[in-house]
A and B are shown apart, each in its own frame.
Chain A
Amino acid sequence: MVGSSYGLIGLSLGLVYSVSGITNFSQGDFLVLCMFGAYSLFSLFGLDGYLSVFITAPVLIVLTILIYKYLIQPISGQQLMVIQLTLGLMFIVQNVLLMIYGGNYQRVPSILDTDVVVIGDILVIQTSLIVAFFVTWAIASILFLVLNYTDFGRTVRAVHQNARAAALQGINVRFTQLVVFSMSAALLGIAAALLLPSKPLHPADGLHYTVVGLMPFVLGGMSNFLGILIGGLLIGTAESIGSFYLNGAMGFALPYIIFIGILVFRPQGLFGSR
């Protein structure tokens, strides 16, 4: 269930990648940044975890635009440099968070925190996860509609399929990319809000979330959005099964093992083409 939120993270990565070929290794850290933002909003104003997204998401969007416009786009031709730069960002964000919030785990309570839904005799699912699930698929549907049926969506697909040809038709590629990056940031902010109720929070979690978002991203073939979401479900399920049947931290290893296993047989991901 939690996999759907992982899928969202993967989707935010996929969006950015599909129009620019950039992968942001600090994505998870920005997620954590959002979560801490929510935490602060909560401890200062008592603002519920879910509602804070209306503040954290826009802030993240602005931050994202600034970062991409001034730091990343200028060197976007050099893939290795971009990766290094995003690693640097990861470094900065993580340590800024450590600076401000210290090294302890925090929790952000919300109205739904411990609510559970009982289905028959068998399943007990945290309400927050159900909410996450539905929100994710709702967003995915909106995204699908936008991409396929609106002019803007077509523009995005054009830039994805052939950026140079898009420019020749008068499409401002850089601007389109920035808009897509904003969408990606919005998704990330939402993912942060969705994940908040179910997990304890620590500034160093960023890398973990980055990896957890990267796996669906790669499994989905990096540009196939539906594939990414399904990949997210897969990873999430693997994690749940793993931690249920295998004791302790080892259970969390299951998604990674499955991930690597799949890659051995299908390096382009489950849904990747070419």
Chain B
Amino acid sequence: MQSLMLDIRGLSAGYGELEVLKEVSISVFKGEMVALLGANNVGKTTVVNCVSGIVKPCAGQLFFEGSDISRLPPHEIAARGIRQVPEGRQLFPRMTVWENLWLGGFTRAARNSRRERAAFVMELFPQLKERQKQLAETLSGGEQQMLAIGRALMGGPKLLMLDEPSLGLSPRFVLTIFEALSLLQSQGLTILLVEQNLKLALNHAQRCYVLERGEIAISGDSQDMRSDQAVRRAYLGA
């Protein structure tokens, strides 16, 4: 039996009066890649932000490796091994590639392995090695995404959450990134992927959840969902 890494139960959250998520439940088992799908602005990022501790839920519970993380501040959640690659990268623009990576390894647990991890990341993404001394804001979109992922990896995460990594990237970069993700998964990393690109998600993730108007409309194995009409409907909007 696989072990449950991330257990989201009945999550409700919102901003002010605006209720975005209504009792969302998602499970992510160790070693798998799960995709969270849905149309624009439907609440996918809110889910990820709740797990990361940036948004506090109204109701529901969040369990990571069995412990309740719903009340923890963001930096502690990161220290526990949950890393987010945010939508739009969110790098430190006026710091070099190297500095961005270095900061990724900030937590006490990650500090010891900083050098090794940095080397690993730069092997994974050779472009980063070339541009070590460049300021983050001067990189291209694809390179920035690689840097963002690399930065998250510097923390030695057990769970990696990516929010729309393919957004605005050329197919070449998308390919590179997803190849890297597959490699990481094969090495034991658990991944939660938020994507708008249906095809990408279904091709790489083992299971998918579809979020529609704040609720989980459909969930299941990717293979089954490929042919499911309901999935297509949810995507083209109701």
Contacts and interface: CB of A to CB of B under 8 A. Distances in A.
A and B touch in the complex (CB under 8 A): yes
Interface of A: 151, 154-155, 157-158, 161-162, 164-173
A154 B95 contact: yes
A170 B91 contact: no
A161 B104 contact: no
A161 B106 contact: no
B61 interface: no
B95 A155 contact: no
A157 B135 CA distance: 13
Given A162-B92, A173-B75, A154 B103 contact: yes
28 contacts: A154-B95, A154-B99, A154-B103, A155-B103, A155-B106, A157-B92, A158-B92, A161-B92, A161-B93, A161-B94, A162-B90, A162-B91, A162-B92, A165-B90, A165-B92, A167-B54, A168-B54, A168-B74, A168-B78, A169-B78, A169-B103, A169-B151, A169-B155, A170-B75, A170-B79, A170-B107, A171-B75, A171-B103
Interface in B65-96: 73-75, 78-79, 83-84, 86, 90-95
Contacts of B107: 169-170
Given A154-B95, A171-B75, A172-B73, A164 B86 contact: yes
Contact of A170 (B90, B92, B95, B110): B110
Nearest to A168: B84
B173 interface: no
B23 to A, nearest CB: 26
Given A168-B83, A170-B75, 20 more contacts: A155-B103, A158-B103, A161-B93, A161-B94, A162-B90, A162-B92, A164-B90, A165-B86, A167-B73, A167-B78, A168-B84, A168-B90, A169-B78, A169-B104, A169-B106, A169-B107, A169-B155, A170-B110, A170-B155, A171-B103
A154 B74 contact: no
A155 B78 CA distance: 15
A167 B75 contact: yes
Given A154-B99, A170-B106, A165 B91 contact: yes
B102 interface: yes
The 9 residue pairs across chains A and B that have the minimum distance between CB atoms: A170-B107, A170-B78, A167-B74, A165-B90, A172-B75, A161-B92, A170-B75, A170-B79, A170-B106
A14 to B, nearest CB: 16
B162 to A, nearest CB: 12
Given A154-B103, A155-B103, A173-B75, A168 B86 contact: yes
Contacts of A172: 73, 75
Contacts of A173: 74-75
A168 B104 CA distance: 9
Nearest to B99: A154
Contact of A164 (B54, B73, B99, B152): B54
B144 interface: no
Contacts of A151: 102
Given A158-B95, A173-B75, A168 B103 contact: no
A172 B77 CA distance: 11
Contacts of B83: 168
A108 to B, nearest CB: 42
Contacts of A165: 86, 90-92
A166 B54 CA distance: 12
A29 B197 CA distance: 56
B94 A171 contact: no
A120 to B, nearest CB: 43
A171 B53 CA distance: 13
A154 B102 contact: yes
A162 B151 CA distance: 14
Given A154-B103, A168-B74, A170-B107, A161 B95 contact: yes
B190 interface: no
A170 B109 CA distance: 10
A165 B86 CA distance: 8
B46 interface: no
B145 interface: no
B52 interface: yes
A158 B53 CA distance: 19
| Residue among A151, A157, A165, A169 having the largest count of chain B Cβ atoms under 10 Å | A169
Among A154, A170, A173, chain B packs the most CB atoms within 10 A around the CB of: A170
A161 B95 CA distance: 9
B151 to A, nearest CB: 7
A36 B157 CA distance: 52
